[in-house]
Structure 1
Amino acid sequence: MFNIISYLIFLAAASFITIDVGRRCYHAGRFYLEYLIHDKHLCLTINRILLGCYYLMNLGYIAISLTTWERISFMEQVISVTAIRIGNIMLILCVLHYINIFTLYLLRKNLTIK
């Protein structure tokens, strides 16, 4: 019973975080890409690819996270296990976001040197 409660809380929070962060990065990323690349059509294509990859990575992590869930016996475990899993998702999102920004910056730097 506690596992089901934990799954539902985790899925609701993970879905909200994934969709909200993806939407925000997609809209804000358009301007960043246009600043770096100066080609609106290419920027739109890259931004859509990044959004698709972002959703696939998160759905994969959420699915793997659900398969490795330990048995929960107390209400305190529901809170701690769910908080740890949601925290892992937020850390992964943060790292992936900064890797994307740094990679795009390096690509732009290499394009301007040539």
Structure 2
Amino acid sequence: MLNIISYLIFLTAASYITIDVGRRCYHAGKFYLEYLIHDKNLCLTINRILLGCYYLVNLGYIAISLTSWDRIASFEQVLSVTAVRIGNIMLILCVLHYINIFSLYLLRKNLTIK
């Protein structure tokens, strides 16, 4: 029963964080992409692809992480296991965000050199 409570807390928090961060990055990313690449149609396409990949990676990780939980025996474990899993999601989001920004920066740098 405690595992189910932990799953529900984790799924609710991780889904909210994933969707909210994805929406924010999608809207703010339009301006960043337009600054880097001066073609609005290409920017929109790249932004949509990034959003789709972002959702697939994060929702896939959320689904896989549910299968690797041990049995939870107390409410303390519910909080600690759920907090660690949510923290992992947030770290993955952060790393993916900075990899995308750095990749786009390098792309822009290469386009301006040529």
**SS of 1:73 mapped into structure 2:** coil
- C-alpha deviations, 1:65-94, integer Å up to 9, x for none? 001011100000000000000000000000
C-alpha deviation, 1:58, in angstroms: 0.5
Letter in 2 for 1:34: E
Residue matched to 1:63: 63
Letter in 1 for 2:113: I
Fraction of identical pairs, as percent = 88
In 2, Cα distance between the equivalents of 1:50 and 1:69? 29
Aligned Cα RMSD in Å? 0.3
In 2, Cα distance between the equivalents of 1:9 and 1:75? 12
Stretches (4+) displaced over 4 A: none
In 1, Cα distance between the equivalents of 2:110 and 2:75? 53
1:1-114 pair list within 5 angstroms: 1-114=1-114
C-alpha deviation, 1:96, in angstroms: 0.3
C-alpha deviation, 1:112, in angstroms: 0.5
Q: TM-score normalised to the size of structure 1?
A: 0.99
User: Which 5+ residue runs of structure 2 have no aligned equivalent?
Assistant: none
The count of residues paired between Structure 1 and Structure 2 equals 114
**SS of 2:71 mapped into structure 1:** coil
In 2, Cα distance between the equivalents of 1:98 and 1:52? 17
User: Which 5+ residue runs of structure 1 have no aligned equivalent?
Assistant: none
- C-alpha deviations, 1:9-62, integer Å up to 9, x for none? 000000000000000000000000000001100000000000000000001100
In 2, Cα distance between the equivalents of 1:107 and 1:41? 17
